[in-house]
Amino acid sequence: MKIKHADFITSAVRKNQYPETGHPEVAFVGRSNVGKSTIINAITNRRKLAKVSNTPGRTRLVNFFLINEAAMLVDLPGYGYAKISKTEKAAWGKIIEDYINSSPHLKRFVLLVDSRHKPTADDIAMMEYFRYFEKDVVVIGTKLDKLKRNDIRKSEKLIRETLELTDKDQLILYSSTSRENLQAVIDLVFHDILPEDE
């Protein structure tokens, strides 16, 4: 599967601002510093499609990108950034929750976690939310290049145990630096959403 086209469509904070394309949607969600924008840029092979900030927590909007003119990649605001007020946290949470509950075209979530560390309480809460509402979700562990090779299995085991993943739940560790497992990520994220021959 190849990503041939990727275009920014719009940013939104409420339902009436979401684009009405009718395309299936894949939503990316994760902590503010997990590397969400970087992996989106790698998947789409566009360096600056999603804005990468040195300051975590800058993305406060729901960003929509059209992929191969057939699907929408949705970048949700990052959660868990400590240096924001409770009011801001609540506002971000509402933006995410409103999108999750109101988008009729949402087909899959991509939960990003930092493969170097045990998933956080926020990561666990997000996974439990998906599980409770029976959402299709895949988990991607970022920053694989920061792990020693003999720690990869340990990291996978820790992520699976902490998020209570079953053998059927999909988990891939990925590196934006080396692009290791990039194609596997693309194939997993867009499985049954984009045609296999794309």
Residue-wise pLDDT for 32-88, tens only, equals: 788 888 898 898 887 777 765 544 444 578 899 999 999 999 998 887 655 555 666
Asked whether residue 123 is domain-assigned, the answer is: yes
Is residue 195 one of the residues assigned to a domain? no
DSSP track, 94-122: HHHHHHHHH-TTEEEEEEEEETTSPPPHH
Output the domain CATH number for residue 113. Answer: 3.40.50.300
Tell whether 167 is covered by a domain: yes
Contact 95, 13 (CB under 8 A): yes
Q: Is the pTM of this model over 0.85?
A: yes
197 compared with 176, residue with greater pLDDT? 176
| Distance between CA atoms of residues 116 and 167, nearest Å | 21
Residue 96, domain member (yes or no): yes
Residues linked to residue 64 through DSSP beta bridges, in sequence order: 10, 74
Coil, strand or helix at 152: helix
Q: Name, in order, each residue with C-beta under 8 angstroms of 134's C-beta and a sequence gap of 6 or more.
A: none
Q: By mean pLDDT, which of 6-10, 13-17, 71-75, 193-197 is the weakest?
A: 193-197
pLDDT of residue 133: 83
Residues in a beta bridge with 74 = 27, 64
Residue 31 lies in a domain: yes
The answer to the question of residue 158 being in a domain is: yes
- What are 168-196's pLDDT values in tens digits? 898 999 998 888 899 999 999 999 898 87
| Residue 194 counted as domain residue | no
Structural domain count of the chain: 1
Q: Which residues span the domain enclosing 45?
A: 6-189
DSSP strand pairing (25-30 vs 71-75): parallel
Residue 105 in contact with residue 46, Cβ under 8 Å? no
DSSP state of 54: S
Among the residues of the chain, which ranges form H helices? 36-44, 86-102, 121-132, 152-162, 182-189
Task: Identify whether 198 is part of a domain.
Answer: no
- Residue 111 backbone phi and psi in degrees, to 5: -95, 120
